[in-house]
Amino acid sequence: MFILDITNVVTLLLLLIVTVLLIFLGHELKKSYITAIPLFAFLALLVSHVVQLMTLSAEYSDMSSKLTWCIVLDFAFIFISFLSYLWIDDIEAKRTNKKSIDDSLEWFWKEV
């Protein structure tokens, strides 16, 4: 059974580097859709890990703990990607004088 194992240190570092680079690119270009790319990728990865965990056969039962850690890391990356999407969306909205999608974190952005 093939699993995209993000608990591996090298894979984890590569995902982190690519995510940070996409966030930085979205910040420089002031385009929020660039920061939505890793968000949707991690959501797809989460769905695939959950499906793999739910359909895990008895012969691969030793992989359930690895899949559980992958799901936890997926949630962490989704959280980081979502906050960065809201941040870049706020920057883009201020630049174009449009209303942001969600302005409830205005107090947080002032502190950052």
Instruction: Report pTM.
Output: 0.83
CB 26 within 8 A of CB 88: yes
Sequence length of the chain is: 112
Q: What is residue 16's predicted lDDT score, i.e. its pLDDT?
A: 95
Domain membership of residue 2 (yes or no) is no
Domain membership of residue 52 (yes or no) is yes
**79-81-82-87 Cα dihedral, nearest 10 degrees:** 120
Domain membership of residue 98 (yes or no) is yes
Tell me which residue range forms the domain holding 33.
Answer: 9-111
Joined tokens for residue 6: 């993000």
List, for residues 39-82, the tens digit of each pLDDT value.
999 999 999 999 999 998 888 888 899 999 999 999 999 999 99
Domain membership of residue 64 (yes or no) is yes
Domain membership of residue 59 (yes or no) is yes
Q: What percent of the chain has pLDDT over 90?
A: 59
Give the span between the Cα atoms of 30 and 7, in whole angstroms. 31
Number of domains in the chain: 1
List, for residues 29-38, the tens digit of each pLDDT value.
989 899 999 9
Looking at residue 69, its amino acid is W
Residue 13 has pLDDT above 90, yes or no: yes
Domain membership of residue 1 (yes or no) is no
